[in-house]
Amino acid sequence: MPRKKRKEYRLLQGNEAVAEAAIMGGVRFFAGYPITPATEIAEILSDKLPEVGGKFIQMEDEIGSIAAVIGASLGGVKSLTATSGPGFSLKQENLGFAAIAEVPLVLVNVMRGGPSTGLPTSPAQGDVMQARWGTHGDHPIIVLSPSSVKDAFDLTIKAINLSEKYRNPVILLMDEVIAHMRARVALPDESKITRIDRIKPNMPPEWYVPYENNITGVPAMASFGEGYRYHVTGLVHDEKGFPTSKPKEVEDFLSRLFRKIERGYREICMIKYHQMDDAEYAIITYGSVTLSALSALPALREKGVKVGILELKTLWPFPRFAVEKVLPNIKGFLVPEMNIGQIYREVVRVTGGRAEVKKFSKINGEMITPQEIVKAMKGVV
């Protein structure tokens, strides 16, 4: 029998894993501006993108960065930008443009302490609600959050694929701990990575309807320069892409934006259960707090507390079905976060008073420890 090929392991930083995944996932354009703690993503891609025929541009600011990424994506190139809190704020207007114009892109936000310049080198998870509602108006968004270096790689690939499949911006929301920690990771063979490309029109240019209200909610997307001429605007538009204020057309258009995400809800929403089969209590986590919760779990079990972990890899759309699935057997939830309780509010909303929900917030620029989670569980049990 042929010998099984041994896995090749690499010691990777979280930001490095994102950059490697971007290349393997088909990203060929990056525009960004240096900012702690996300700068390594730009540094690595500035070297690696030209090696695979891609383009790297250091822009004059964060507003120009996402504008360039939108332009590259309209030209048919898978595109990505990376930033942290202050830059994320600057990107919000053009993030809204990408949402209404249905331009695929990936925006990596490595969270740090805030508001404003805040704590540039310290961990936080304060951008959760901004990721959902930062740009104005009703808009659909997909937000993924890695809990490990391996997650940072896998979810970057997933983010690229989801953005292409649903013609929607996708945010990879990573906290500073995951971005800068290092771990031994086995990267897959590039030939085995699944890559999803946007749907292309299969009709003559004169028949093309760029924003067709079809059954999937995702219209085919022609690249600029391919002979398909269509209008792109930040205004609400009809199926041809031209601005409209007709109530029926406005409602149909905005409803379709949400429908395409709702149809893919189960694919988009990724969660992981840890020791939930017999659990009477649950810790709901995301990002680096998951690592502390996993370390706390054996100690809690040894104390006789039947507790499990519900790990959220998708934050938006919020995977309420995961909470509802375990709710009948759960007496109480603990939601530890490095913010004042942003996902906590969602858990309270979904549980609707059917179980006790406690939060543990830490906002001093330090990571939540396993010991703190063990102590916080005393207020739940």
- Residue 226: C-alpha distances to residues 55, 68, 93, 200, 201 (Å): 20, 19, 28, 10, 10
pLDDT in tens, 263-274: 999 999 999 999
Q: What is the pLDDT, as a whole number, of residue 4? A: 60
Dump the DSSP string for 23-83. Answer: HHTT--EEEE---TTTHHHHHHHHHHHHHTT-EEEE-SSHHHHHHHHHHHHHTT--EEEEE
Of 58, 99, 100, 101, residue with least CA distance to 82? 58
In the predicted model, is pLDDT for residue 325 greater than 80?
yes
pLDDT in tens, 212-266: 999 999 999 999 999 999 999 999 999 999 999 999 999 999 999 999 999 999 9
Q: What is the pLDDT, as a whole number, of residue 205? A: 95
Q: 168 CB contacts (<8 Å, ≥6 apart)?
A: 99, 102, 104, 140, 141, 142, 162, 260, 261
Q: Which of 1-5, 87-91, 284-288 has the lowest mean pLDDT?
A: 1-5
Q: What is the pLDDT, as a whole number, of residue 16? A: 98
Handedness of CA 83, 85, 86, 89 (dihedral sign): positive
pLDDT in tens, 136-193: 999 999 999 999 999 999 999 999 999 999 999 999 999 999 999 999 999 999 889 9
| CA atoms of 81 and 31, how far apart (whole Å) | 6
Residue pair 34/42 in contact (Cβ under 8 Å)? The answer is yes
Amino acid (1-letter code) at residue 330: I
Domains delineated in the chain: 9-192 (3.40.50.970), 205-266 (no CATH), 271-379 (3.40.50.920)
Q: What is the pLDDT, as a whole number, of residue 8? A: 79
Is residue 5 very low, low, confident or very high in pLDDT (cuts 50, 70, 90)? low
In the predicted model, is pLDDT for residue 96 greater than 80?
yes
pTM over 0.95: yes
pLDDT in tens, 276-321: 999 999 999 999 999 999 999 999 999 999 999 999 999 999 999 9
What is the rounded end-to-end Cα distance, in angstroms, of the chain? 54
| CA atoms of 347 and 93, how far apart (whole Å) | 28
**Mean pLDDT over each residue of the chain, to the nearest integer:** 96
Q: What is the pLDDT, as a whole number, of residue 7? A: 72
Neighbouring CB atoms inside 10 A of 222's CB total 19
